[in-house]
Amino acid sequence: FFFDLLAKTMGDTKAPAAASPASSAELKVGNDPLEAKIHPDFLPFKEDCVRLRRWFHKHPELSLKEEKTAAFIADELKKLGMEVKTHVGGFGVVGLLKGEGGEGRTIGIRADMDGLPIEEQVDEDYKSVNNGVMHACGHDGHMAILLTAAKVLSTKKWKKKMKGCIKFVFQPAEEGFAGAKAMIEDGLLEESPKIEEIYGLHLWNYQQVGIVGVRMGPMMAASDRFYVHVQGKGGHGAVPDGTADAIVASAQLISGLHTIVPRNISPLDPAVVTVGTVNGGWASNVIADKVTVSGTVRTFEKGVQKTIMKRMCAICEGIGTAFDVRANLDYQQGYPCTANRSKTQYDNIVKAAEAVVGKDMVREPRQVMCSEDMSYFLDQVPGCFFFLGSALDMKDIRPHHKSVFDIDERCLAVGASIWVRLVDNLLCTEE
């Protein structure tokens, strides 16, 4: 998904080599003070978590091509003694950790794996070695957090007291290719033991490190694409009679599309219609016979989405009649709205997060019009998704999906500690 600057409300493919523990000064950190109760069992793995993040960052792979990333993760999970399934919905990896404390529920914890087609401009030792590919959305951190939590929870101490199972879900192809949907279609949620509830996080550079943003209801928008193919009748630019100008028709079409939200949607219902591309024309003295207009639609409510689709169809039909052209709409529904619908799972995350960062640092973020395919999981089983503050500097934000993206690495310990606290609360505590 694609990020703009939001409000402050919120090469080498070998495994990372074992190294002497780095001092805290070596971490990539910002200026905001962090007071977090890092889980004590995480501390022996702290530096390893940072090294993992930097290795993932240095070796990004694009959606549908996460082969080496997946192989590395699968190997690490196998070393922990887990049952590991690979090639789930593409290059997805699922590690099953069985507790030895008796019967209990099965929970899933998810991290996405893919990078973006961006040339990195951050000059660090862990800069991407794959030209034109970069972890510019935090997925490197997501993997490092979850893999380190898996290492903590796989220790003898934790397995002995844990009742039930954890499925560590490493998902491919989040960046526009619906990897979550592919994993579901490949049986992820049906295989025994079945995932009864699922959790996920997203590093968030619009929140300072140490802040956890979580809310009930919609958090991130549904994301749809549309293409309007305008077919007219071309001709010489000096002889317009007898033609049907696709460019003139498209100009009126674009104006019409941009009236949908302000004149058809309640001001209390967030929605976006954006025309992003206009392609057409042959030469300065030629009346164009065809133009393609494309864009995105973002909504939180299905009723709003349906209204926009209906109005788009009507506008295209009207433009066709008014300008004697054909305006064919191709509307493609994409990721659904990412929403936390279950109060129980929401409360589980709030409780775990408050134990780590304190009550005052768990806050309700604004809804954002970006999208996330974690929505497919949340549509199938109860769960919760939250934002984990990772900003290096709130006065100079490193936006997601930008070539300068980077994080305050202290967020890694916060995220892993939240996962450990969550498991402790759900699978290791007498009810």
Strand bridging mode 165-171 / 106-112: parallel
Give the 3-state secondary structure of residue 32: coil
Distance between CA atoms of residues 150 and 416, nearest Å:
9
Q: Where are the alpha helices (DSSP H) in 229-368?
A: 246-257, 260-264, 302-323, 343-357
Closest CA to 39 of 428, 352, 377, 383: 352
Residue for token digits 């010489």?
A: 236
Which residues sit opposite 8 in a β-bridge? none
Which residues sit opposite 273 in a β-bridge? 297
Q: Where are the alpha helices (DSSP H) in 42-162?
A: 46-58, 67-79, 139-153, 156-161
CB 231 within 8 A of CB 290: yes
CA–CA distances in Å: residue 206 to residues 201, 209, 299, 391, 398: 14, 9, 21, 6, 8
Q: Of these residues, 114, 224, 406, 409, which one is catalytic?
A: 114
Closest CA to 36 of 360, 314, 276, 338: 360
CB 118 within 8 A of CB 100: no
Q: Which residues of 197-215 are buried (b: 16+ CB within 10 A; e: fewer)?
A: bbbbbbbbbbbbbbbbbbb
Is 114 annotated as catalytic?
A: yes
3-state secondary structure 168-222: EEEECCCCCCCHHHHHHHCCCCCCCCCCCEEEEEEEEEEEECCCEECCCEEEECE
Give the 3-state secondary structure of residue 425: helix
Q: Of these residues, 76, 120, 174, 197, which one is catalytic?
A: 174
Active-site positions? 114, 174
